[in-house]
Every structure is written in C-alpha cells, then in structure tokens.
Amino acid sequence: MRKARIAVLVSGGGTNLQALIDAQKSGIIKSGEISLVVSNNADAYALERAKKADIKSLVISRKEYGDSFEDKITSTLEENEIDFIVLAGFMCILSEKFTSHFRDKIINVHPSLIPSFCGKGFYGLRVHEAALEYGVKVTGATVHFVNEIPDGGKIIMQKAVEILDGDTPEVLQRRVMEEAEWKILPLSVEKVSKEIIEG
C-alpha cells in the first residue's frame, strides 16, 4: 500500500517531530512516511533529530528568501512530491496563497484548547503564560487543519491537561507536551495520512 509522503515544518527543539519519528518506528503511523523536514531556522535542534533518523532535511529562511520564502517552500514540497504537511512548532504564519494551495493538506499542533489562547501572538511558551495568567484550571492541546486564519481551521483532535498549583509556564508546557501533544499529533498524522491515501 502506498504511503502518504509527509513533510514536517519546524523552527525549534523538535520534540513533536521526535514524537512523529518514534510513532513511525513503533507503527502508530503506518499510512504515511516522514519524507522531508524543513526548518526556517538553521540552528533548530529539530534538524539534528531529522539527521539522526536519516530523514532528508533542509533550511529555508525568511532572511535568505525574503518575499519568495513561501514560494521556495512550495516548490521544495512539490519537488519532493509531498502529499501532506505537518507544522510541528513552525513559528511562521502562512499566507492565504500558501494555505489555499495546500487546502486540507496542512495540519498544525497548538498547545491550548482552541478557541482559548490561540491566534496571532500565541505561540510556544506565551500560550502557557497566558493560560496561567488567566487562571484557567484546564488547558491542553489541539491538532487542526491550517487555513488562512491563524489557528482557525477545522479541529482534528484535542486533549485536555490539568493545571496544578505552582505551575510555571515551563512546567506546564512540558506537561501539555507529554500528556497531549506527543499523543494527539501522531494519532492525527495517521488519521489524515490514511484519509489521503484512501482518497
């Protein structure tokens, strides 16, 4: 059976990329294969993770490509015959031109229960800072399709995580990753890969 060719777009540590690599090894992801990792940041540790797993990786930075940044990503994905794009800690907002070109073919993991603490300006640790500041007792993670509205596409999976007394943004970030992101991202990738190959 054909597998969906997956590109993972990253910017930083790449723990979600690692969860995908591990899920592919353990067979949780069986309908897709991670064929390419693209980072907008040459220093991203995610690139090391790709290298260790023998996955082709490359850097496409806004600094280098300026206005043709997205066009470069598009042509690279097409050259590599990518079926499905996973944003895993990719800290760039993509334009409508890009998201409509790959409609229903891009998913993202966000570290809150959308529609809370999401949209422009809510990324990484800032999301957890906002949740703690507000004083919510439950947060979590969401995997969703990507459209032109930041964090606004159709939800695929969500998982709730408890906030405990004394949590710092860093402690909460780690718990949300362990209990939610690293579980629902691989499950969502398998679900969407299967749908893609089954047409």
Piece of 24-32, 51-59, 95-103, 109-117 that binds ligand GAR (CB under 6 A): 109-117
Strand, helix or coil for residue 175: helix
Q: Which of residues 131-150 bind ligand GAR (CB under 6 A)?
A: none
The secondary structure of residue 151, as a DSSP letter, is T
Q: Is 80 exposed, middle or buried (0-12, 13-18, 19+ CB in 10 A)?
A: middle
With contact defined as beta carbons under 8 Å apart, do 91 and 124 qualify?
yes
Minimum distance, C-beta of residue 198 to ligand GAR, in the bound complex (Å): 28
> Is residue 110 flagged as an active site residue?
yes
Q: Which of residues 160-199 bind ligand GAR (CB under 6 A)?
A: 177, 181
Piece of 6-14, 31-39, 64-72, 159-167 that binds ligand GAR (CB under 6 A): 6-14
Strand order in the sheet with 4-10: 57-59, 32-39, 4-10, 84-87, 106-110, 138-145, 155-162
With contact defined as beta carbons under 8 Å apart, do 49 and 17 qualify?
yes
Residue from 24, 123, 139, 156 touching ligand GAR (CB under 6 A): that is 123
Piece of 59-67, 123-131, 156-164, 189-197 that binds ligand GAR (CB under 6 A): 123-131
* Active site members: 110
The residues binding ligand GAR (CB under 6 A) are 12-16, 46, 88-89, 109-111, 123-124, 127, 177, 181
